[in-house]
Structure 1
Amino acid sequence: MRKIQLLLAFITLGKCTIAQQATAPEYLQLDKAINSVSAVMIHDVVNPPAASRYYAYFMMGPYNLATLHNKEMVPLGNFIKSYDQDNTLSLKPGQYDYKIASMYCILESGKMMLPSGYMLQDDEDKYIELLKKNNISEETIKASVKVAEEMTKKILAYSRGDNYNRLSGKLRYTPLKGVKNWYPTPPMYMEAVEPNWKTVRPMMIDSAQQFVPVRPAPFSTDTTSEFYKEAYAVYKISQHASSEQITIASFWDCNPFAVTTSGHMMIGFKKISPGGHWMNIAGIAVKKANLSFDKAVQVLTLEGVALMDAFISCWDEKYRSNGIRPETYIVRYIDNKWTPLLQTPPFPEYPSGHAVLSNASATVLSYLLGDHFAYTDDSEIPYGVGPRKFKSFIQAAEEASISRFYGGIHFNDAIENGNKQGRLVGGDIVKKLKAAKVEPILK
């Protein structure tokens, strides 16, 4: 067996991830804290479903702190039915700076939850130094850090009840036998990602099975069948993709660990996850809308919640239908030398994860910030892809979805039905936000 060397090319998030609030002082820019935890997730190669979970929990502490000081903020327990934590703190409002505590809470949550969370100690130390440079009193700093640590413990206690810690105890996943089922793909032939994710407790949807999409096209190798035509469409677009279509596929790649080969060497590039990309979109919108600190926290928290529920809903179906990927099918039945533009992710095909999470995100963000919120997305600049302009979140979701077809990693029905599933997830979240009287931020 030949020896394969693996080079890990770590690309930092830089300044182009979560956009900062336009008018906030440097020590209250939410992007600084979120970029720090995102960088550790990239370092740890956190898979997309798990990343969505982390983003949701990292923002819940700041949201709770905001509700303690802003009575117009609707408490989490009013729309997340499983959230019943007592948010009482040892210090009363006015004895600490809740915005500073919120910033520190994001870092502390990451430090406590992420595999390499210890790396965030340096970020916490630098944050304290930044506060001192801005003439924040020692007393305020200590009080705010104390409150942040207390709130982090409450969020951690809540997170332990979502069944995530039981996933490692599940039996190792073995790909199902049969020509129609998913099988690991080149170049790494990685194991299936999170086959039991449907057992994780949702935030707002009722269950993982609440929005089961229609059945995918029946597997067939008959050249007149719907399935073969779906596969051939993927094959055909790969042969004639325009430069714009290639750019779209690259822009929405969001593969946490893409691998390329060069001779006997495999080179891995770490990138932001799909959820990280949509968290950044939420941050860009926060900056453009010039939202207050509390409203910014609200947008980022609800985006994290939407991501978590979207992945739970999507992953439930992925391992139910267990669909074969275009790469496997095309190589077997159409062209044995074919490769997709994008690296095929290590999990079943149906439905498209990007379609589900993008449409869920767009639905929630549109409710909060409007149906025609135009913005420029510069999330992928650190990874060599320039910015793109969008007239709305829905337009961005549509492009994110079709990018998977251009990239050669999804059939069209996985995209179209994934779009519908994502809109249902997002719509259910919006319905429950309305019932809890969480009002739109921008009309």
Structure 2
Amino acid sequence: MKRLLLLLALTGGTVLARPPKLETHLQPTVFAVTMVMIHDVVNPPAASRFYSYCLLGAHELVSGHSAIPSPAAFVREFHKPELNRTGNYQLAALYCILETGRLILPSGYMLEEEEAKLLAALRKEGYTEKELKAAVVAAEEMAKKVLALAATDEYSRLSTRLRYRPLKGEGYWYPTPPGYMEGIEPHWKTIRPMLIDSCSQFIPRPPVPFSKDTTSAFYALTREVYSEGRNLTEEKRFIASYWDCNPFAINTSGHMSIGFKKISPGGHWMNIASLATAQAGISFDKSVEILSLTAMTLRDAFISCWDEKYRSSRIRPETVINRLIDSRWQPLLQTPPFPEYTSGHSVISTAAAELLTFFFGDRFAFTDNTEVLFELPERRFSSFRAAAAEAAISRLYGGIHYRDAIENGQEQGYRLGQFVVEKLQKNGVRPAR
């Protein structure tokens, strides 16, 4: 009755339609979290962890509605929490994304302004103070429970582990120019996965062995990277730049080094998932489920990939080419600060594509606008798998990966993605179509 009176007062006696669906707020809410991570220069594995927790509480809040199963059914160590009455659970879920981000991100305080903006927008749409207050209380309660789970996943112990030192030997990874940064997250395999069984569940085929022999398979892989880099077409240059997704990019001029902040590979796929749910007109509840499971899949794919990276610790093409072929050669993209095998973008993109294909089908065409923020145009893809395949091969064009790291990374991601899909199906998760 209060809602009706408010609407009558605002419209001079004409009854307005129900407030706009909350789906319209979902993508900008998730992207607000992304923007804070870009500000903080969060590394790719850590970004996937933050996404998984920011969406988990919202996922739990919508579970039980519209046949959305509770993540407690399949997320490791997550138990369905007891909550007080949530009121409008969708409002609570939306606010919970921001509140969890506020609590867990290094610069989470920046989301306080986003929370205030969201509440102001919801007031204009006709939600009452009572509804909003109840939603905020429920969201804060859920966010605290999510943070309690996050505190047990081994992340807090990473800084206490021994400092990583590159392995001795010609074929092992060594820091690359221009920053010569230390290896990022060498102990990431110790982070608890959410959906897969362990970090080593999807160990890929071994990399081609290092060799300086000009007739060897490894030397052929290296020559391919070198040749691609010297003969790039404009299309290949664009593809490499489009999927760069390197939060560590540094531009040097004399003695000055200038950092460029970019979205992470996981952030790119989170935005693709958001775009797909909006394009398909998916309900709020199902959209939250899809985004949450995308984040979990990305998280586990990074854990699997990083397990292999620091097991094989393979040398980057830039280092080999500069030593054996051309001392002045530089890759189009800046080499990321961690070992080469397997290709991270190949693993996580393929895994995410398999999950999204399960939800939307293999013929779901979409327009990706993720890189518009970084002055690159929108890009049209015929399917998620097509986008993932382009992301993978972009690493060869960019000069930062050998072909076997790409192809074996795709296989690794495919196996992981298929495992996740099968597990979710067994626990009642259904396609969006």
Q: Which TM-score band applies after superposition, normalised by the shorter structure?
A: over 0.9
Is the alpha carbon distance of 1:393 and 1:27 closer, same or farther for their aligned partners in structure 2, counting shifts above 3 Å? closer
Contact 2:176 2:337 in 1 (8 A): yes
SS for the counterpart of 2:81 is: coil
Counterparts of 2:50 and 2:304 in 1: how far apart (Å)? 17
Aligned match of 2:330 in 323, 336, 339? 339
Structure 1 segment 144-163 matched on structure 2, within 5 A: 144-163=135-154
SS of the aligned residue for 1:389 comes to strand
310, 315, 322: which one aligns with 1:319 = 310
Corresponding position of 1:135: 126
Match of 1:242 among 233, 239, 250: 233
**Residue pairs, 1:180-199, within 5 angstroms:** 180-199=171-190
Q: Is the partner of 2:152 in helix, strand or coil?
A: helix
Q: Which residue of 1 aligns with 2:25?
A: 29
Structure 2: distance between partners of 1:284 and 1:125: 24
Q: TM-score, normalised by structure 1?
A: 0.92
CA distance in 2, matches of 1:134, 1:376: 29
Distance 1:122 1:434 in 2: 38
Residues 335-382 of structure 1, C-alpha deviations (whole Å, 9 max, x = no match):
000000000000000000000000000011101111111111111111
The CA deviation at 1:26 is 6.7
4+ long deviations beyond 4 Å: 23-28
- Cα contact 2:69–2:429 (8 A) shared by 1: yes
Tell me the distance in 2 between the aligned counterparts of 1:275 and 1:41.
11
Q: Which moved more, 1:119-128 or 1:393-402?
A: 119-128
Q: Is contact 1:43–1:270 with CA below 8 Å preserved after alignment? A: yes
Q: Indicate which of 159, 178, 182 corresponds to 1:168.
A: 159
Q: Paired residue for 1:407?
A: 398
Q: Which runs of 5+ in 2 are unaligned?
A: 1-18
Distance in structure 2 (CA, Å) of the matches to 1:141 and 1:83: 27
Which one of the candidate residues 84, 88, 91 is aligned to 1:90? 84
In structure 1, stretches of 5+ residues that fail to align are 1-22
Match of 2:52 among 52, 56, 79: 56
Task: Give the 3-state SS of the residue equivalent to 1:380 in structure 2.
Answer: helix
Q: Which residue of 2 aligns with 1:80?
A: 75
Aligned equivalents of 2:376, 2:103: Cα separation in 1: 33
Q: Residues 410-438 of structure 1: CA distance to partner in whole angstroms, max 9, x if unpaired? A: 00000000000000110110110111121
- Does the 8 Å CA contact 1:28/1:99 hold for their aligned counterparts? no
Q: In structure 2, do the counterparts of structure 1 residues 24 and 356 end up closer, same or farther at CA, with 3 Å as the change threshold? A: farther
1:146 match: secondary structure: helix
Find the counterpart in structure 2 of residue 386 from structure 1: 377
Q: Cα offset for 1:317?
A: 0.2
Q: CA deviation at 1:82?
A: 2.3
| 1:42 aligned onto 2:35 | no
Secondary structure of the residue that 2:257 maps to in structure 1? strand
- Aligned residue pairs total 415
Would you say 1:436 and 2:427 are equivalent positions?
yes
CA distance in 1 between partners of 2:248 and 2:259 (Å): 6
2:12 corresponds to: none
Aligned 8 A contact 1:27 1:130 in 2: no
SS at match of 1:270: coil
Distance in 1 of aligned mates of 2:247 and 2:347: 18
Per-residue deviation, 1:264: 2.6
Superposition RMSD on alpha carbons, in Å? 1.3
Shift of residue 114, structure 1, vs aligned partner? 0.6
Deviation at 1:27, TM superposition (A): 8.3
- Cα deviation for residue 439 of structure 1 reads 1.4
Q: Amino acid of the residue matched to residue 77 of structure 2?
A: S
Q: Does 1:218 align with 2:214?
A: no
| Contact persistence 2:365–2:380 (CA under 8 A) | yes
Shift of 1:385: 1.5
1:274 corresponds to 2:265: yes
| Range with bigger deviation, 134-143 or 209-218 | 134-143
5 Å matches for 1:194-213? 194-213=185-204
Q: Deviations over 1:76-108 (max 9, x none)?
A: 121224212x422122x5xx2211111110111
Q: Distance in 2 between matches of 1:388 and 1:137?
A: 40
| 1:361 is the counterpart of 2:352 | yes
Amino acid aligned to 1:418: G
Corresponding residue of 1:112: 103
Shift of 1:35: 1.5
CA distance in 1, matches of 2:78, 2:21: 32
> Which digits, 9 at most, give the CA deviation of each residue in 1:200-229, with x for residues without a partner?
001111100001011101100110000011
**Contact 1:271 1:383 survives alignment (8 Å):** yes
Cα pair 2:212 2:219 within 8 Å, conserved: yes
Tell me which amino acid in the other structure corresponds to 1:74.
Answer: P
Q: Give the partner amino acid of 1:35.
A: F
* Mapped partners of 1:382, 1:125: distance in 2: 24
Percent identical across equivalent pairs? Answer: 53
Moved more, 159-168 or 24-33: 24-33
User: How many angstroms does 1:31 deviate by?
Assistant: 1.5
When residues 28 and 379 of structure 1 are mapped into structure 2, their CA distance, relative to the original with a 3 A threshold, is: closer
Ranked by relative contact order (alpha carbons within 8 Å, sequence separation 6 or more), the top structure is: 1
Q: Which residue of 2 aligns with 1:291?
A: 282
In structure 2, distance between residues paired with 1:280 and 1:166? 30
Residue by residue over 1:39-88, the C-alpha shift from the partner in whole angstroms, topping out at 9 and shown as x without a partner, is 111111000000001111111111111014x051111121224212x422
What is the rounded CA distance, in whole Å, between the counterparts of 1:391 and 1:27 in structure 2? 24
Distance 1:166 1:24 in 2: 44
Q: Residue type matched to 2:78 in 1? A: Y
Q: Check whether the contact 1:28–1:100 (CA below 8 A) recurs between aligned residues.
A: no
